[in-house]
């Protein structure tokens, strides 16, 4: 695993893609949701990437790395909750919900791998 930047990590790439999809989709959410659901789902989806970046910088300290990746996993789970509300409120279709939720579950599996294998990331070039 020869990653020299957090942007090279699959979890980051997939997380960024999901956050950008959510950003585009939420542009069509009702104005009444601007300060609640829209802000919340945008924030949690973006926080996945932010936490991965922070974790990468802490990778020489396995406990700190795992803690930050765990935060990313928590934000990813929160995003799933907001996706469920988005579907229940009929802001997104069942097909879109399934697609976005599946992407989030993939990110969760990647984050779990990182949490369970911090040694595979701590040996990367520190920069």
**What's the whole-model pTM score?**
0.92
**What CA–CA distances, in Å, run from 115 to 17, 43, 49, 65, 69?**
21, 22, 15, 8, 6
- Its CATH class, for the domain covering 6-119, is mainly alpha
What span, in angstroms and rounded, lies between the C-alpha atoms of 18 and 118? 24
* pLDDT tens, residue by residue, 50-107: 999 999 999 999 999 999 999 999 999 999 999 999 999 999 999 999 999 999 999 9
């Amino acid at each position: 695993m020869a990653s020299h930047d957090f942007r090279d990590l699959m979890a980051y790439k997939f997380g960024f893609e999901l956050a950008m999809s959510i950003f585009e989709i939420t542009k069509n959410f009702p104005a009444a949701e601007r300060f609640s659901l829209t802000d919340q789902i945008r924030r949690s989806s973006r926080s996945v990437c932010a936490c991965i970046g922070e974790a990468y910088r802490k990778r020489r300290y396995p406990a700190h790395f795992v803690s930050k990746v765990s935060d990313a996993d928590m934000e990813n789970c929160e995003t799933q909750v907001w996706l469920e509300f988005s579907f229940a409120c009929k802001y997104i279709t069942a097909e879109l919900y399934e697609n976005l939720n599946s992407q989030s579950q993939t990110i969760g599996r990647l984050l779990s791998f990182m949490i369970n294998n911090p040694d595979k990331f701590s040996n990367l070039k520190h920069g």
